[in-house]
Structure 1
Amino acid sequence: MNSATPSPVIRVTGVTKNFGTTRALHNVDLTVEKGEVVVLLGLSGSGKSTLLRHLDGLELPTEGDVSVLGQHLPKSSARELRALRGRVGMIFQQFELVPSLTVLENVLTGALARLKGPRLGLWAYPKALRLTALTHLDRVGLLDKAYQRADRLSGGQQQRVAIARALMQSPEILLADEPVASLDPESSEQVMRLIREIAADDGLTVVCSLHQVDLALGWGDRIVGLRHGEVVLDTATDGLSKAQVMEIYGRVTTSTTELSAIELELGALAAPLPVQDGLL
């Protein structure tokens, strides 16, 4: 007897999200299989971040259903949502580190959901967790920075600390919301390559939002294009060219002037940004 086909680890069905009179998502459908790397691509305000926030229950749909790891989020209790977030790691654009804490302490905060009571200081964490945190710092190439303050690292280094912190959850799914938007192109490539390598090694499912078309094409298994809260593209990256992606954006614009504006914004977002404290 053949085993049943595994269900998608993420299933979004007919999701609409309204914030007052503003419609952020409209009738969105999305499925993601275990181990898949999916890039949400679109301009600012297209609905990428809102969709990501639905995948760990930070937002609930106005209409429709979101199922993650077999759990229907709109029907889940607050306790069930907290438990789910322990299985879903999140990486943010602005890193969300505590600047005054050491790198190692920041990584250890990724394990707080599994601990009882507050933890004040490095030695308040069990030795086994400290060793695990050091292992994750070694994976992201920052073992030698473990006892430095987080605010003394470059932007690329801080994002790698954030990746190590997410790994402390032992996540099954990794969500990344514009993880390289504040980094220069070289650091962006290195961070995205690191996420991809860890996902392959650990069998993680990854959903990541980006602005940069080139990064999306080189990094994802699939591109899901969003515009005005609607899915306008869902296709494998294999064989897909930048020109084809831009053409798909153009199909939902009203004029060549608007398409030119999209190209200019994408170019500006991918432009080099100042880097503090050096490169990665």
Structure 2
Amino acid sequence: MTDTPAIQLTDLSKQFGSTTALDGVSLSVGSGEIVVLLGLSGSGKSTLLRHLNGLETATSGDVRVFGAPLAGVRGARLRGIRRRIGFIFQQFELVGPTTVLENVLTGALATLRGPRLGLLSYPRRLRVRALDLLAEVGLEHVAFQRADTLSGGQQQRVAIARALMQDPEILLADEPVASLDPESSQQVMALIREIAERRRLTVVCSLHQVELALAWADRIVGLRHGGVVLDRPAGALDADTVMRVYRQVAVDGGALASALPDPAEILGFGGAPASEPQLSGVRA
């Protein structure tokens, strides 16, 4: 890993009207690190990811990618940064009626001038590269099928190949297996990890599946109400400890409030049982 973090967030906050989506998030991700964001829906995971490629602008705080601040970056400079960041979506975002190969080729559009229509409108070198990437994700045999004829797991593999067409240094993934069955989820996440290790990619991925996150990530970051409540190496955690990020109780006629223990109790102060699992980076 290089000395300069691939991603550096400092006291990042984001307001949407009266709603606080992110609340003072500080986070550093090293080059080549694989980080999973865990938290309930609405905890700020997707909003955080969207700040990393400039799709959202911070209300306050600092976002740096590759050591460069994103604040105020526009036009060609922003496009240049985005070319170095691949994005994998929950719903695949493929063009169903077009071929698998052409869907992968769209990942190279930022490097081309003018619109493209049909496979032959792309340079041969890109068509060859797209076929190589389909082979890398195990789908070269369906290159000329319509994308909407594939299973969900296969479509997400196509989306991974499309992201790799950018030759990214950072790979962002927003709930990439939320629409998949457990077996396909395991296969897709294993593929992403394999590719990330081989290409030395930095990965930040949001998930809901705790066991999958623990098996797959280098590091787990838990979010609650827009703030970081957990930040530890995955190998130092177990499922029961991580599930504290998700625990809730119903109050005020059904409104939800967090049931995480008081930070002092979690850290072993104030008479907490000696066997209580310990978390670092926990906020009230």
The answer for the alignment partner of 1:40 in structure 2 is 37
Q: Distance in 2 between matches of 1:244 and 1:112?
A: 43
Q: Match of 1:99, as an amino acid?
A: G
Quote how far apart the aligned CAs of 1:253 are: 6.9
CA distance in 2, matches of 1:29, 1:80: 24
- Indicate whether 1:102 and 2:87 are aligned: no
Which amino acid in structure 1 is aligned with residue 26 of structure 2?
Answer: D
- One-letter amino acid matched to 1:21: S
Match of 1:179 among 167, 176, 179: 176
Q: Which has the higher contact order (CA 8 A, sep 6+)?
A: 1
Q: Give unpaired runs (5+ residues) of structure 2.
A: 261-284
2:159 pairs with 1:162: yes
Q: Which position in structure 1 is the counterpart of 2:70?
A: 73
The answer to whether residue 221 in structure 2 is matched with residue 224 in structure 1 is yes
| TM-score normalised by L of structure 1 | 0.88
Within the candidate set 2, 9, 13, 2:10 is matched to 13
Corresponding residue of 1:273: none
- Does 1:57 pair with 2:54? yes
**AA partner of residue 157 (structure 1):** Q
Does structure 1 retain, via aligned residues, the 8 Å contact 2:63–2:70? Answer: yes
Shift of 1:80: 1.4
Which residue of structure 1 lines up, in the alignment, with residue 142 of structure 2? 145
SS at match of 2:203: strand
Per the alignment, residue 266 of structure 1 pairs with none
1:90, 1:247 → 2: CA distance? 28
Q: Identity, % of aligned pairs? A: 65
Report the secondary structure of 1:75's partner residue. coil
Q: 1:192 aligns with which of 189, 199, 205?
A: 189
The answer as to 2:76 corresponding to 1:82 is: no
Deviation, structure 1 residue 254: 8.7
Deviation at 1:84, TM superposition (A): 0.7
Deviations 1:9-59 (A, max 9, x none): 100000110011111000000100000000000110000000000000000
**Which residue of structure 2 aligns with residue 131 of structure 1?**
128
Match of 2:274 in 1: none
- Equivalent position amino acid for 2:74 in 1: S
C-alpha displacement of 1:258: 5.8
Structure 1 residue 259, shift from structure 2 partner: 4.9
Contact 2:153 2:188 in 1 (8 A): yes
Q: Which has the larger radius of gyration?
A: 2
8 Å CA contact 2:62–2:69 kept in 1: the answer is yes
Supply the AA of the counterpart residue of 1:167.
L
1:234 counterpart (227, 231, 236) = 231
Structure 1 unaligned blocks of 5 or more = 261-280
Q: CA deviation at 1:222?
A: 0.4
> Partners in 2 of 1:259 and 1:198 — Cα distance?
37
Equivalent pairs, count: 256
CA displacement, residues 137-180 of structure 1 (integer Å, 9 cap, x when unaligned): 00100000000000000000000000000000000000000000
Q: Distance in 1 between matches of 2:244 and 2:23?
A: 22
| TM-fit CA distance, 1:91 | 0.2
Local SS of the residue matching 1:64: strand
Moved over 3 A (4+): 247-250, 252-260
- Distance (Å, rounded) in 1 between the aligned partners of 2:246 and 2:102: 43
Pairwise CA distance, 1:200: 0.3
Secondary structure of the 2:8 match is strand
Bigger shift: 173-182 or 5-14?
A: 5-14
1:186-220 C-alpha deviation (Å, 9 max, x unpaired): 00000000000000000000000001101110000
Query: For residues 19 and 33 of structure 2, what CA distance do their matches in structure 1 show?
Result: 31
How far 1:109 moved relative to its partner? Answer: 0.3
For residue 75 of structure 1, report the CA deviation from its aligned partner. 2.8
Letter in 2 for 1:94: Q
Q: 2:112 aligns with which of 112, 115, 128?
A: 115
SS at match of 1:28: strand
Q: How far does residue 247 in structure 1 lie from its aligned partner after superposition?
A: 3.5
Instruction: Give the drift of 1:248.
Output: 5.1
| TM-score, normalised with respect to structure 2 | 0.86
**C-alpha distance in 2, partners of 1:102/1:239?**
44
